[in-house]
């Protein structure tokens, strides 16, 4: 996947108290994503942008748009990436 396409799919990280707990306890990050993005597209986009392996993707539609919860394969990597992105 091209980086431009990946950036269009993963719009921006989304942080709340709940998602912050998921970073620490469940090794997950939350992103607002394109409404038409599938779970497999989200996983490929994440891997292309951040060069980390994805274990699973769960999605949820809310008033703010579609959210994707990305669980990483390697332990503690979500916290490291969150720090690099300035979320923590």
Domain positions in the chain are 3-75
Mean pLDDT along residues 3-32: 93
- Identify the DSSP state of 37: -
3-75 CATH choice from 3.30.70.330, 3.65.10.10, 3.40.50.12780, 3.20.20.450: 3.30.70.330
Global confidence as pTM: 0.92
The model's confidence at residue 76, banded by pLDDT at 50, 70 and 90, is confident
Residue 63 scores a pLDDT above 90:
yes
Q: What is the pLDDT of residue 8?
A: 93
Residue 49 scores a pLDDT above 90:
yes
- Cβ atoms of 68 and 31 within 8 Å: the answer is yes
Q: Following DSSP, what letter does each residue of 42-77 receive, concatenated?
A: HHHHHHHHH---EEEEEEEEETTEEEEEEEESSTTH
Q: What is the pLDDT of residue 88?
A: 74
């Amino acid at each position: 996947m091209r980086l431009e396409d990946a950036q269009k799919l993963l719009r921006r990280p989304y942080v709340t108290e709940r998602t912050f707990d998921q970073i620490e306890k469940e090794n997950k990050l939350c992103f607002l994503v394109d409404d038409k993005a599938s779970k497999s597209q989200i996983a490929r986009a994440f891997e292309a942008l951040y060069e980390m392996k994805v274990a699973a993707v769960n999605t949820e539609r809310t008033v703010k748009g579609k959210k994707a919860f990305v669980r990483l394969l390697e332990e503690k990597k979500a916290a490291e990436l969150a720090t690099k992105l300035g979320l923590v």
